[in-house]
Structure 1
Amino acid sequence: MVLQAKKEVYEQLTKEVKASPHLVFTEYQGLSVLEIEELRKSLRSMNSKYQVPKNKILSLVFKNNNLELLSQGLNGPIGLVLIKEEHPVQILKKLIQFAKDHNKFKLKSGYMFGKLLSLLEITKVANLPSKEHLIGKTVLTIKMPLIKLMNVLKANQTNLVCVLEQIKNKKEKA
C-alpha cells in the first residue's frame, strides 16, 4: 500500500512538473504550517503551486524527464514552486516579497526558460517589467508619432480659428 501511494505521488508530481515551464526551489525550514498555507493560497491565485515533495521522489521525476541537472541540489528539506504561467515575473516578485517578510523562507535556485538559474538570476528575472507593462510601453511607442502628427496638423486649424476670432473681435470693437 505504501508503494502504491508513493507511485501515485510520483505520477502526480511528474504530471505537474511537465505542465510547469518554470520551477523554483526553496528552503522552508522553520516556517509554520499557517505561513506555508498563506504562501500556497497566494500562489494558487496566480496559477502556481507550492509543494514539499520527498527528495527521492523529486529526483526520480527529474531523472525520468531528462532534467537530471535539477536533482543535483536536492539536499535537505526542499519546497518546490510549480509555475504554470509563461511569464513568471509577478510570481517571482511575490516569492521574493514572501522571503523578505519571512526570514526562514529562502529561494535557492530555479529552472526557467530551459536552464538552471541561480538566486541572483531569479532576482534579475523578477525585476523585469511585467508583460502587461511592456505591451503598454510598446503600444505607446507606436502610437506617439501618430499623436504628434495629429497635433501638428491640428495646430494650423487651431491657429486659423484664433486669427479669425481676433479679426472678428477687432471688427466688433471698430
Structure 2
Amino acid sequence: MQWNRSTAIGLAKVSCVKCRGIGIRPGRGGSEEPCNCVFRGVFRACWNRFRECVALGTHTSSVSLDLCNGSDGRRSYSRKREEYAADFCLVTRRALNDAEYRIFRFHYLLGADWKMCCRRLEMDRGSFFHEIYRLEQRLGRIFADLEPFPLYPLDEYFSRPQPGSRVLPSTPPVWGERSALHSLVA
C-alpha cells in the first residue's frame, strides 16, 4: 500500500504523541513513514470486518462472480465473507509465533477480557497491553502490505479485480460502404 498523508490521516489516532494525529512521522534518512497508531487502526478495521463476517456466518452468504484472467472470459465463483475470515485467521497464524498467537487467541478469538488473559497467561496488566499493542501494530502492517491481495483496504479486498485483467473498450463494428441496413432500405 502506498502511504501518504491522505491515506494515513483517516486511520491516525488524534491523541497520538508521536505523529500528533497526522498519521505520518519522520523516518530514517529523512523519509516519512506511517505511525504505529495507523497500523493499529488498520488492524482494528480488519478485526471489525472479521467479526462482522463471523457474525453473519450463520446466514448463507451471497456468491460473487469474478472474472478470471485470459481472453476467453471465464468466471469463478467465490464467497467473499468466508474467504476473508479464512484469510484473516491464516495470515494471523502465520505471522505470529506461538506465544503471541496464544495471546491473540485468548483475547481476540475467544473473547477473554484482560483480567482473564492475565491470569491464564501469567502476565501483569502492563505487559499484557504492551503485547496487545505490538500485536495490533505488527498485524496491521502485515494486513496492509500483504501481496498480492492485502486484507486492507477492505473495499479493495471485497471488490478486487483479478491481476492482469483489464477492461477493454468495445469497438463498434466496421460497416462497409453499404451496410445491411442500407440494403434493406434501398
Above 0.5 in TM-score? no
TM-score band (shorter)? under 0.3
TM-score by length of 2: 0.24
TM-score by length of 1: 0.26
Larger proportion of strand? 1
* Bigger relative CO (Cα 8 Å, ≥ 6 apart): 1
